[in-house]
Amino acid sequence: MRKVSDIMSKDCVTVTPQDNIYECAVLMKKHDIGFLPVVDGKKLIGVVTDRDLVVRGYAEKHPGSESVMTVLTKEVETISPNLSVDEAGSIMASRQIRRLPVVEGGELLGVISIGDLAMREIFVNEAGEALSGISEQEHREPSYTH
């Protein structure tokens, strides 16, 4: 049985509560990512997504110098590194989550993404279901019946 710890990304780009939303945006651009765990030391305190920056940050007219704490999501679904990859895939599919921080004792160890599952041909169906469920409604083609 493969565990989450076998396939998670361990070298995560992170930010701290002292960072601001502009710095988050720059890191996302630099690393071509849309998700940043917010850590205090090694302790996970939340996450910031590119959507958080737009919706809770810039669209609310917060300046780039505003603290990351203004936009972060505190209630974050996390998983254990000992969880099976199958269970992680099921959680991601059922809860329509693209990325899950891997945490043990409150400390961030890594992140597992739908891409990690799909690239390893593990739970491709579940990854596909999660992605299709996550897709924005307005991006879906309208269905026509004749």
At 77-108, the pLDDT tens digits run 999 999 999 899 899 989 988 899 999 999 99
Amino acid at 113: S
Return the bridge partners of 111, or none.
9, 101
What average pLDDT score do residues 110-114 get?
93
Using the predicted structure, report yes or no on whether residue 125 has a pLDDT greater than 70: no
pTM: 0.78
Model pLDDT for residues 67-84, shown as the tens digit of each residue: 999 999 999 999 999 999
Give me the long-range contacts of 113-121 (CB less than 8 A, separation at least 24): 113/9, 116/7, 116/8, 116/9, 117/7, 117/85, 117/88, 117/89, 117/92, 120/7, 120/85
Going from the N-terminus, what domains does the chain have, and what CATH number goes with each?
4-134 (3.10.580.10)
